[in-house]
């Protein structure tokens, strides 16, 4: 199979599988993971849009719309509600614009979107994916109600409050599992290897969405990862950075923005104001190249070196932060060229608790670089094995002898990555079955030689370890921090 085909499938799998219970599908999903909510971008108030023809020509053009709607509502054989026609017309206008970041929200969609930026939600604390007709637990968050009740990755959700989830889609599962804190939901699950379904009652809590994680990698080296930007991100980041600085960052900081699809621009700007040296961070340019806003920093240059990790899924607000640090020579970028999304969206309210998200500006880095569609090139281009980039999104269902296809090839790539010899052919042959049996024996499960739910859980855990040990981008970043010839005395980069 061609490399391009595999890469395309990997990317489609990301879109297909990831959704966070009680929050957005992120970073990802309401706007293909690449949209910045607007009101917080430049603190402009939201505007209620009303139809007021600006001139005679516009009034004449809109007559067609109103006459068409009138004829449909009066003369069409099947009755049609006017509000449905209006909503359809708005969605049609958005289709004509052909901007993937522009979209219409009905009241339910708007409520969902606003929850996304709040940083918390009422729910049980799991991330789910849709596999065929099944809803599968992708992850149970640490110390969440789900984890405390024993819900695990790989569990299949059969029912919630007596309502079947099989074949009902992921949105229905989200609707039933989410709810106010201190309420309960009865769930029935099928666990890999268990003969009978498990039933339990889970009490919902206010789940805080974690967008920032950190750890010490080496003596004097701090590591902070930001996976998206919501209303709590800046505060979380600054708390962790301050703690590292108190403990000592003599060897430097690694800031991981890989797979960060963006979010609230003001949160990225707030972080930039603390780590970008005194001067410009970013400028927002509106229609007709009008300058809307320039954001500046007054922070002193950090006395330690900084490496920022980026990849093909680094987008939007994350690109803003990485680009400003690169342009101001405050960090070295390691990884792959970023996604290339530098448009800014603003949420505009419409009557009836509807809204529309509009692209209102592009942002440019301090050097005037327009990221949109081009992305940011790293200072050091370092590849990662594709399977380590995408393995967490792999959940094809059962695979066995004589199966054929891309999913089998991905399984073979995973086994190869963790040290089992198997040909990456896409055909589930005897060699694949033997390699899978060897893996199953090594992790202590029955060696069936077939890929099932229990094997999926163990394989993902093995790849979690491998992805860290074989993280070429992170390891290269550590090498840079440890190479004194890369940095000048005050923490900047050599010219």
**pLDDT average, residue stretch 60-70:** 84
pLDDT of residue 451: 94
Contacts 24+ apart (CB under 8 A), 238-244: 238/271, 238/274, 240/212, 240/214, 241/274, 241/275, 244/214, 244/216
pTM of the model: 0.78
Residue 479's H or E segment, with its range, is helix 472-481
The tokens describing 59, both together, are 């009034």
Is a pLDDT exceeding 90 seen at residue 20?
no
How much of the chain exceeds pLDDT 70, in percent?
86
pLDDT band at 205 (very low <50, low <70, confident <90, very high): very high
Question: How far apart, in whole angstroms, are the C-alpha atoms of residue 253 and residue 271?
Answer: 14
pLDDT of residue 153: 84
**pLDDT average, residue stretch 281-302:** 92
Residue 279's H or E segment, with its range, is strand 279-285
Is a pLDDT exceeding 70 seen at residue 473?
yes
Query: How many CB atoms sit inside 10 A of residue 485's CB?
Result: 6
**pLDDT average, residue stretch 171-196:** 90
Question: How far apart, in whole angstroms, are the C-alpha atoms of residue 375 and residue 377?
Answer: 7
pLDDT of residue 51: 40
Per-residue pLDDT tens for 373-384? 899 999 999 999
**pLDDT average, residue stretch 207-227:** 91
The mean of the pLDDT values for the chain is 84
Residues 6+ apart with CB under 8 A from 12: none
pLDDT of residue 275: 97
pLDDT band at 19 (very low <50, low <70, confident <90, very high): very low
Exposure of 37 by Cβ count < 10 A (0-12 exposed, 13-18 middle, 19+ buried)?
A: buried
Stated length of the chain:
495
CATH code of domain 120-208: 2.30.42.10
Query: Can you tell me which residue has the tokens 């992305």?
Result: 375
The CA-based angle 376-380-384, given to 5 degrees, is 90
Measured CA distances, 57 to 52, 62, 68, 418, 434 (Å): 12, 9, 18, 67, 73
Measured CA distances, 227 to 64, 250, 258, 296 (Å): 47, 25, 7, 24
pLDDT band at 290 (very low <50, low <70, confident <90, very high): confident
The tokens describing 266, both together, are 């003001």
Residues 6+ apart with CB under 8 A from 170: 19, 25, 128, 129, 130, 135
**C-beta separation of 34 from 339 below 8 A:** yes
**pLDDT average, residue stretch 184-211:** 91
Highest mean pLDDT among 47-56, 83-92, 231-240: 231-240
Question: How far apart, in whole angstroms, are the C-alpha atoms of residue 441 and residue 449?
Answer: 10
**C-beta separation of 245 from 238 below 8 A:** no
**pLDDT average, residue stretch 89-93:** 90
pLDDT of residue 120: 81
**C-beta separation of 135 from 151 below 8 A:** no
- CATH code 1.10.101.10 region(s) in the chain: 387-469
pLDDT of residue 58: 65
- CATH code 2.30.42.10 region(s) in the chain: 120-208
CATH topology for 387-469? Answer: Muramoyl-pentapeptide Carboxypeptidase; domain 1 (1.10.101)
Residues 6+ apart with CB under 8 A from 66: none
Concatenate the DSSP letters of all residues of 195-262 into one string. Answer: SS-EEEEEE-EEEEP--EEEEEEETTEEEEEE--B-TTHHHHHHHHHHHHHHH--TTEEEEE-TT---
Residues with active-site annotation? 316, 327, 341
**C-beta separation of 334 from 307 below 8 A:** yes
Find the range with the poorest average confidence among 6-15, 52-61, 130-139, 242-251.
Answer: 6-15
């Amino acid at each position: 199979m061609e490399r391009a085909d595999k890469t395309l499938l990997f990317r489609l799998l990301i879109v297909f599988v990831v959704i966070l219970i009680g929050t957005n599908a992120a970073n990802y999903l309401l706007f293909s993971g690449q949209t910045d909510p607007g009101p917080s971008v430049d603190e402009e108030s939201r505007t209620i849009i009303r139809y007021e023809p600006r001139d005679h020509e516009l009034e004449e053009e809109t007559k067609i719309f109103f006459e068409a709607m009138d004829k449909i509502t009066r003369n069409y054989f099947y009755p049609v509600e006017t509000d449905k026609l209006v909503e359809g017309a708005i969605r049609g206008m958005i289709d004509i614009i052909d901007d993937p970041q522009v979209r219409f929200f009905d009241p339910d969609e708007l409520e969902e979107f606003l929850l996304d930026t709040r940083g918390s939600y009422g729910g049980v604390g799991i991330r789910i994916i849709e596999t065929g007709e099944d809803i599968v637990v992708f992850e149970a968050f640490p110390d969440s109600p789900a984890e405390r009740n024993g819900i695990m990755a790989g569990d299949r959700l059969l029912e919630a409050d007596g309502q079947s989830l099989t074949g009902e889609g992921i949105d229905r599962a989200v609707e039933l599992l989410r709810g106010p804190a201190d309420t309960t939901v009865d769930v029935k699950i099928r666990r890999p290897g268990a003969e009978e379904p498990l039933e339990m009652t889970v009490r919902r809590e206010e789940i805080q969405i974690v967008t920032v994680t950190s750890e010490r990698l080496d003596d004097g080296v701090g590591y902070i990862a930001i996976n998206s930007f919501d209303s709590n991100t800046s505060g979380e980041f600054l708390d962790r950075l301050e703690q590292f600085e108190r403990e000592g960052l003599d060897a430097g900081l690694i800031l991981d923005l890989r797979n960060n699809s963006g979010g609230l621009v003001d949160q990225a700007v707030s972080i930039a104001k603390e780590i970008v040296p005194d001067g410009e961070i970013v400028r927002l340019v509106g229609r007709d190249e009008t300058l809307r806003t320039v954001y500046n920093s007054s922070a002193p240059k950090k006395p330690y070196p900084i490496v920022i990790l980026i990849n093909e899924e680094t987008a939007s607000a994350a690109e803003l932060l990485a680009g400003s640090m690169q342009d101001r020579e405050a960090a070295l970028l390691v990884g792959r060229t970023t996604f290339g999304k530098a448009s800014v969206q603003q949420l505009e309210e419409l009557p009836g608790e509807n809204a529309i998200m509009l692209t209102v500006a592009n942002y440019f880095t301090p050097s005037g670089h327009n990221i949109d569609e081009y992305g940011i090139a790293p200072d050091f281009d370092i590849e990662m094995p594709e399977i380590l980039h995408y393995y967490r999104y792999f959940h094809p269902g059962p695979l066995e002898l004589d199966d054929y296809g891309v999913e089998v090839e991905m399984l073979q790539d995973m086994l190869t990555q963790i040290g089992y010899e198997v040909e990456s052919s896409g055909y589930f042959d005897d060699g694949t079955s033997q390699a899978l049996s060897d893996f199953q024996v090594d992790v202590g499960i029955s060696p069936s030689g077939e890929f099932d739910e229990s094997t999926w859980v163990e394989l993902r855990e093995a790849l979690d370890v491998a992805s860290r040990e074989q993280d070429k981008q992170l390891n290269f970043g550590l090498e840079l921090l440890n190479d004194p010839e890369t940095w000048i005395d005050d923490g900047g980069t050599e010219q």
